[in-house]
Structure 1
Amino acid sequence: MSDGLKLPKFSVGTGDRFAHQAKAQLTACILAADAGVEVVPVWNKSNREHMIIGSEPSATRAAADAAVKELGWTKPYFLDADHINLKTVGRFLDPCDFFTLDVADLIGQPAKDEDVTAFLSAHPELVGTVTIPHVDEPFKTDKAFVEGVAHKFLAAVKHAGEIYRLLLENKGAGRFVPEISMDETDYPQTPVELLIILAMIADEKIPIQTIAPKFTGRFNKGVDYVGDVAQFTKEFNEDLAAIQYAISKYGLPDNLKLSVHSGSDKFSIYKAIYEGAKRFNMGVHLKTAGTTWLEELIGLAEAGGSGLEIAKEVYAEAFAHSAELCAPYATVIDIDPAKLPTPEEVNGWTSEQYTSALRHDQSNPAYNQSFRQLLHVGFKVAAKMGRKYLDALEANEEIVAKNVTTNLFERHIKPVFLGL
């Protein structure tokens, strides 16, 4: 089903809010290649982030291309139009070659009865006992269950089909990588639901190369996984089995893989992801998004002087506007206001106190995940600073870049793709 542009087996989604860290991020992928594994970068920035910062996707493309040229990267790389829909896709058409079709908002919107009936009659194999290789217990379904899943997800998948066909018309077949994202919704999809969804996607003739379901547990921004690791491991393996089965059964692309959104810093499940991918010999797309921006703040704080002053100023403003900053991310953050230091307290901190509170080192008693999450969503504050913030990044480029590279390679790439 898929010809043309192909996403390699392992890829990492790297957010770069201010388009200044492409080189530092790419350096982490070069370190991975030196360690014996190909992990290709997918630079991603959503429409919401472009709107907040006042940037254009073309600037993200320019930064990625410049880093690739400067560092002599000859492997593939991609630019993701992150979380787009029919209303927002326009500005991404030219610069992007990876499109995350976000249909989470349509999940639960009732599908047309005739569409549900047509789906059920086309897929009798999904009703009853569905035996899948490498799954201990066969999936047991009945007509009412499959019908319920169709009513819940079919309208969303059909919308993804509309976006895909628009992309096809504008970009041409084989000239972009499609991903479907269903993670920003209230309830996780079970592995059997994922299989039924994959059948719908195949019916829509969308040659997806990655799919981002919502997994069990909480995937809060920039902090560790909250949930039952054993349950996640079981579901992740069953999801991989469902994908492998759907590839052979429905003719989906043979490089189709799971995408773990808000995957940054989910340290407690990285072993499960690595082992699952290895067991099934399948790829993984890990999306790290906003951690780069936090590493910029850590680098500025570490630099001391005016860098530390800017890091403190960002926190004071984020603290003052926390309700407004947190609102768009309410489903993916858990901040305890009682654990947030006052700006007055932070103003008295040394570089080490600031970086200890912010850097994701759970062995450090000073690490503060409420502080970290508030700053994670506080990039709007730095955006409002304009040149003041960007000048600070440029003045402290070396120390900032070191933090960005170390974070991406040591804390993410090594455990997920090298099992280290």
Structure 2
Amino acid sequence: MELKQLVTDVHEILTVSGDYSKLTDSEVYIPSIQVDRTNVYFILHERQDNQVVKSLVVYEDRGTIQDFDGQETLEDANKVLLVGMLNEQNWHALTKRFTWVKPTSRHGYKYTFGLGDRLGNASNAHLRLFKGRGIMPVLSQQSIRELLLTNRTFTDVILDAGWSVFEEGYTDGWAADGDHVKNPHEVDYAVKTGCSMITLDCTEKIHNEIADLTDDELDAQFNALDEDLVTYFNKTYLDKEFQISDQAAVHFSKKDVEQSVLIFFGAVEYAEFIYHKFVVPFNLDFEISMDETIVPTTPANHYFFANELQRKGITPETLAPKFYGEFQKAIDYIGDVDRFEREYVIHEAIAEHFGYKLSIHSGSDKLSVYEIIGRLSKEHGWHVKTAGTNWLEALRVIAHVDPKLMVELYQFAYDNLDDVAAFYVFNAQTDGTAPKPETITVDNVMTLLNDDDARQVLHTMYGSILNLQKSYRYVYRDRFFKILKENQDLYDKYLNAHIAEHLDLLQGLAQTKAEVQAKYEPTIQ
């Protein structure tokens, strides 16, 4: 783009008084235009080799424009026009001028939704979907494991999301989650790179082995605690019933007390340490994951955990129990939906009693229970986390555009599934019902994205697929991203049809899985 033409574009923007629909330069991305008095900022879209190349254009006073890193500049009276890359320095310069470009607290937002964009190119589409929904998007949501498997950093994730926020002119607020951080080093890393919230994964402080103890063994371990602790826990909980709502009460048997203490009290103490070391000093939103257990969280477990946190002066923004049923990756809820609803009523009552909202982890694709969650989460709302959905919708693009490559990706994923055996529990790994690679051809490859077992095979292997190298060169990564970049509009359509299914059920705009599938799935075939 010629700099003189960009100066002409700027003058036109300044004279049209906010109506940009008739701008003569079609490469100016209209949603990104921001005008501050006589300063102008926008994203330029230039088409090169079937891909959109993006640049930042700034038109600002000479005395302040040095905040930006420019590749090209042109003086215009007392102003300077600058064209720069979408890099870290330029993003920070924008955040000084427009605070909404930075991630912020979820506090005060009743409904929040984690999007877990592992590839860094889904946020624009998501922001268009979320406009007007009344739901705060957590655009940046990655765990350390996901960062390692995608060769990204927290800075990468935040910048990818932050640039999308500016590009789409999304001023309603967004959050960045240091997801499933387990130790102080990981928390510190997330905080220092700009995450506005952390999800504390208490795996290393939750003692799952306690669930397998006999009653006598449980008694012995509990009574081996210091006498003051045994006395306190028994006096506070043993044989007590806590009425938490008109519909829900929690009773503590002897076993309930002992299991709750021995499984979860170490996690409570650890949460207190992280709260005072990081959450308070850095004004973070605090989510606690207590779902890293081998059995569902009982009402007694949940009440105990929340009550002990409150006793220490801690109210998290969100807390994630392990709900009844299976929340496996990339497929719908497995279990008795009626029982899930009965138990969710109690968990929701506990959350409302203590002043936080429930968080639903592994929330992707759980269409059978979203209506229940949306209907019952009345007082404080809900937080739903999705991950992997973006990856699978990206594979839908690959299957559509280059079915031969998709056949190859599935063969590799199926043959190397043991690579991720330690990370995931899913049916496709154990029941042998995933489609055999020899049955998949270029003619039926799209069916993989609608088959539960195939979805799980492909979902879990994203890191292995992206990182596979031969002769020091990536086998799939470059081809994969080239196709996505050349077909961004198709990817956007797939992404938003899928996430819209989630949101419509959560918001009560649809009542059943069949209803949203009939509404959206014809658009993704």
TM range (shorter): 0.7 to 0.9
> In 1, distance between residues paired with 2:509 and 2:289?
26
Whether 1:90 and 2:173 are equivalent positions in the alignment is no
Whether 1:380 and 2:463 are equivalent positions in the alignment is yes
Q: TM-score, normalised by structure 1?
A: 0.84
Tell me, yes or no, if the aligned pair for 1:7 and 1:177 is still in contact at 8 Å: no
Q: Report the Cα offset of residue 329 of structure 1.
A: 0.7
Tell me, yes or no, if the aligned pair for 1:225 and 1:268 is still in contact at 8 Å: yes
Counterpart of 1:296 in structure 2 is 394
State the secondary structure of the residue aligned to 1:88. helix
Q: Is the alpha carbon distance of 1:327 and 1:108 closer, same or farther for their aligned partners in structure 2, counting shifts above 3 Å?
A: closer
> In 1, distance between residues paired with 2:180 and 2:128?
26
Counterpart of 1:349 in structure 2 is 442
Query: For residue 297 of structure 1, what is the amino acid of its counterpart?
Result: L
Residue of 234, 237, 244 corresponding to 1:132: 244
Q: Which structure is larger by alpha-carbon Rg, 1 or 2?
A: 2
Counterpart of 1:260 in structure 2 is 360
Whether 1:225 and 2:333 are equivalent positions in the alignment is yes
Query: For residue 295 of structure 1, what is the amino acid of its counterpart?
Result: E
Q: Deviation string for 1:26-55 (max 9, x for gaps)?
A: 22212xx2xx53343343111011111221
Q: Is the alpha carbon distance of 1:143 and 1:339 closer, same or farther for their aligned partners in structure 2, counting shifts above 3 Å?
A: closer
- Which consecutive aligned stretches of 4+ in structure 1 deviate over 4 angstroms post-superposition? 109-112
Q: Which aligned pairs between 1:240-389 and structure 2 lie closer than 5 A? A: 240-247=348-355, 256-277=356-377, 280-302=378-400, 304=401, 307-330=402-425, 332-335=426-429, 338-346=432-440, 348-350=441-443, 353-359=444-450, 368-384=451-467, 385-389=476-480
Q: Is the alpha carbon distance of 1:29 and 1:131 closer, same or farther for their aligned partners in structure 2, counting shifts above 3 Å?
A: same
Q: Which aligned pairs between 1:229-240 and structure 2 lie closer than 5 A? A: 229-240=337-348
Q: Is the alpha carbon distance of 1:5 and 1:212 closer, same or farther for their aligned partners in structure 2, counting shifts above 3 Å?
A: closer
Q: TM-score, normalised by structure 2?
A: 0.68
Q: Report the Cα offset of residue 263 of structure 1.
A: 1.1
Residue of 199, 210, 226 corresponding to 2:307: 199
Counterpart of 1:102 in structure 2 is 201
Q: Deviation string for 1:195-231 (max 9, x for gaps)?
A: 1110112233333100010001111101111111111
Which of the pair is proportionally richer in helix? Answer: 1
Tell me the matched-pair count.
Answer: 383
Tell me, yes or no, if the aligned pair for 1:341 and 1:371 is still in contact at 8 Å: yes
> In 2, distance between residues paired with 1:144 and 1:322?
39
Tell me, yes or no, if the aligned pair for 1:264 and 1:287 is still in contact at 8 Å: yes
Tell me, yes or no, if the aligned pair for 1:317 and 1:381 is still in contact at 8 Å: no
Residue of 113, 120, 123 corresponding to 1:12: 113
Residue of 500, 503, 509 corresponding to 1:413: 503
Query: For residue 104 of structure 1, what is the amino acid of its counterpart?
Result: T
> In 2, distance between residues paired with 1:313 and 1:324?
17
> In 1, distance between residues paired with 2:261 and 2:430?
38
Counterpart of 1:397 in structure 2 is 488
Counterpart of 1:252 in structure 2 is none
Q: Which has the higher contact order (CA 8 A, sep 6+)?
A: 1
Tell me, yes or no, if the aligned pair for 1:220 and 1:334 is still in contact at 8 Å: no
Q: Report the Cα offset of residue 7 of structure 1.
A: 5.5
Structure 2 runs not aligned, ≥5 long: 1-104, 209-220, 468-475, 511-525
Q: Deviation string for 1:216-259 (max 9, x for gaps)?
A: 11111011111111111011111111122223xxxxxxxx1000
Whether 1:166 and 2:257 are equivalent positions in the alignment is no
State the secondary structure of the residue aligned to 2:107. coil
Query: For residue 204 of structure 1, what is the amino acid of its counterpart?
Result: K
Tell me, yes or no, if the aligned pair for 1:81 and 1:100 is still in contact at 8 Å: yes
> In 1, distance between residues paired with 2:166 and 2:125?
13
Q: Report the Cα offset of residue 336 of structure 1.
A: 5.4
Tell me, yes or no, if the aligned pair for 1:61 and 1:79 is still in contact at 8 Å: yes
Q: Is the alpha carbon distance of 1:134 and 1:91 closer, same or farther for their aligned partners in structure 2, counting shifts above 3 Å?
A: same
Query: For residue 108 of structure 1, what is the amino acid of its counterpart?
Result: H
Q: Deviation string for 1:333-378 (max 9, x for gaps)?
A: 54456433333432x222xx2223313xxxxxxxx21111100101
Q: Is the alpha carbon distance of 1:108 and 1:401 closer, same or farther for their aligned partners in structure 2, counting shifts above 3 Å?
A: same
> In 2, distance between residues paired with 1:38 and 1:285?
10
